[in-house]
Amino acid sequence: MVVRVDLSEEDVDRIFKALADRTRRDILERAIHREQSVSALAHHYDMSFAAVQKHVAVLERAALVTKERRGREQIVRTNGPTIARAIALLDQYEQLWVDRAVQIDAVLARSDEEGGG
């Protein structure tokens, strides 16, 4: 799958900061598995509702999840495309690294030829 990466540095900051917390990764995973209310999510953690609420807010600001009112509940739903964009970002780094590795291999192969011939 091809995903364009048109994120600002601030966007990228928000995404990786959001992913850099164990609780938030867990919330994200649960939300992927099944969309559910903030309080339903909060039941799983040994911390206050407000704390979980803040974590969800961080994920929301990073656009990793969206919230939608349903009655008195706020339903948390994963925003797949943002994950895809983060992957695309890292893929770019990795591709650079792979390209670089290939270049180095080429250089080494050439010195082998020179040294051996």
Residue that is written with structure tokens 């690294």 in the block: 97
Nearest-angstrom CA–CA distance, 24 and 44? 12
State CA 114 to chain mean position distance: 45
Smallest distance from the beta carbon of 38 to DNA, in angstroms?
A: 4
**CB-nearer residue toward its own copies: 51 or 96:** 96
Q: Which residue, 54 or 88, is less far from DNA as judged by CB?
A: 54
The count of chain residues that interact with DNA, using the rule CB under 7 A, is 23
Radius of gyration over alpha carbons of the chain, in Å? 21
Residue ranges that bind its own copies, judged by CB under 8 A: 9, 12-13, 16-17, 19-22, 25, 28-29, 32-34, 78, 80, 83-84, 86-87, 90-91, 93-94, 96-98, 100-101
Q: Which residues contact 58 (CB under 8 A, 6 or more apart)?
A: 14, 17, 18, 21, 24
Gap between the Cα atoms of 101 and 103, Å rounded: 5
Choose, by CB under 7 A, the member of 3, 19, 66, 74 that binds DNA: 74
17 lies in the site for DNA, by CB under 7 A: yes
16, 29, 44, 51: which one contacts DNA (CB under 7 A)?
51
Report in angstroms how near the CB of residue 34 gets to DNA at its nearest. 14
Expressed in percent and rounded to 5, the helix, strand and coil fractions of the chain are 65, 10, 20
